[in-house]
Amino acid sequence: MSPGLAAVYRVRSDASSIEDRARAIAVEQSVEMPVSAIEDDYILSSIVGRVVAIEPREEGIFEVRIALAAETVGQDPGQLVNMLFGNTSIHDDVVLHDAEIPAELMKWFGGPRHGLSGLRQKVGARARALTCSALKPQGLPPEKLAALAEKFARGGVDYIKDDHGLADQAYSPFAARVQAIAPALRAVEQAIGHAARYVPSLSGDLDCMRRQAAVAREFGIDTLMVAPMISGLSNFHRLVRDNPDLAFVAHPAMAGAARIDPAFLFGTLFRLLGADAVVFPNHGGRFGYSPETCRAIARAALADRAGMRPSMPTPAGGMSLERVPEMLDFYGKDTMLLIGGALLAERERLVEATAAFVAAVERHGHG
């Protein structure tokens, strides 16, 4: 078996069954047929998955490492996730915890084209944490979204992303939204000298996402958001490859991360495919992630990997101004803080609330 591809699962099992269960997963994720019926030596020695380690973890949970053949993946991200978890995702006793990915595949996927430092550079930040907010609610027409964006920008925020619910709806078509928001931000830039970046959210099939990327490009936008688990990982990676000059923010929608370890999915896999920033639910907000999970996501996004740029950890999901110092203590400066609803709740004080958010980050950065 060629070295390098391995899936790491956490399996719910008792000690007497785990070896059989591990072997069954190894077969399911490789040849998916009775091994006794395989005649071909190459397949038996090189393609059939091999259980390389079983270690007990917490009560009733085992970590199982299975070596798979890199040849089964080719160079396709969709096929990678198919080989790592395709059929096994249907079993509810298994979580995909991590994977070892061969160096050659890592190189082909290529990771972030801009990454942490690229996102800082775009907004003229040096070492501080970045700030981000979100345009919502759904249902607002482009002019009202542009008015919100203008206020965020006047408050000095670095990035302004679409709510991931904003797609290409009749009340706010993608092109009309970009056409309204991009010039509004340029006007603010001319007025106050600070350029906030608008990050529109792409949706639809690959053709549709390409058309949207082209529209965004036409209006001078250089950062885009995609939900890779909705677009399909292969299509996300195709957009990254075809647009090396654009930065990509990965959104966690449909990640169903209870069944795939969030640190692996967001911090490793999305990064590997080119996410310059990965949005994930912060602990203590609307989602149930623990501080340990969040730290693991951020660590994976930033981990030293030969030749690969770090991705910007972007905790979000019910964050507030009051939590900024605590979050910065927790994540350090290599982070982009995303506060949406809590700023929008300030209504007519939106510019001031945004400015307070920005100031809190800058103060902490210099402290």
Provide the CB-side half-sphere exposure for 96 (13 A, CA). 30
Distance CA(64)–CA(53), nearest Å, equals 6
Q: Is 74 in the site for a copy of itself (CB under 8 A)?
A: yes
**CA end-to-end span of the chain:** 52
102 binds a copy of itself (CB under 8 A): no
Select the residue interacting with a copy of itself from 10, 19, 61, 79 (CB under 8 A).
Answer: 79
Q: Of residues 191-230, which lie at the interface with a copy of itself (CB under 8 A)?
A: 203-208, 227, 230
Residue 198 — φ and ψ, nearest 5°? -85, 130
Residue 109 φ/ψ, nearest 5 degrees: -65, -45
Using CB under 8 A as the binding rule, whether residue 150 contacts a copy of itself is answered as no
Interacting residue with a copy of itself among 102, 110, 118, 232 (CB under 8 A): 232
154, 238, 271, 323: which one contacts a copy of itself (CB under 8 A)?
A: 238
Q: Build a one-symbol-per-residue string for 269-288: x at contacts with a copy of itself by CB under 8 A, - elsewhere.
A: ------------x----xxx
Provide the 3-class DSSP secondary structure of residue 290.
coil
Cα distances from 23 to residues 4, 67, 96, 235, 250, in angstroms, run: 19, 11, 15, 32, 34
112 CB-near residues (< 8 Å, 6+ apart): 118, 247, 248, 271, 274, 275, 276, 308, 309, 310, 311
**Shortest CB 177 distance to a copy of itself, Å:** 13
Task: Closer to a copy of itself by CB, 6 or 73: give it.
Answer: 73
Is the peptide bond prior to 228 cis by the omega test (within 30 degrees of 0)?
no
Q: In the bound complex, what is the minimum distance in angstroms from residue 38's beta carbon to a copy of itself?
A: 6
Residue 191 beta carbon to a copy of itself: minimum distance, rounded to whole angstroms: 25
C-beta closer to a copy of itself: residue 191 or 345:
345
Chain residues 328-357 in contact with a copy of itself, contact rule CB under 8 A: 340-342, 344-347
Establish if 97 lies at the interface with a copy of itself (CB under 8 A). Answer: no
CB nearer to a copy of itself: pick between 123 and 263: 263
Size of the site for a copy of itself (CB under 8 A): 86
Candidates 113, 154, 164, 323; binder of a copy of itself (CB under 8 A) is 164
Told to check if 30 binds a copy of itself by CB under 8 A, we report yes
Annotate 354-365 with DSSP letters as a single string: HHHHHHHHHHHH
Name residues contacting a copy of itself, limited to 245-264 (CB under 8 A). 252-260
Q: Which residues within the stretch 35-64 sit at the binding site for a copy of itself (CB under 8 A)?
A: 36-40, 42-43, 46-48
Nearest to 167 by CA among 101, 69, 251: 251
Backbone angles phi, psi at 98, to 5 degrees: -170, 175
The one-letter amino acid code at 283 reads H
Q: How far is the CB of 324 from a copy of itself (least distance, A)?
A: 18
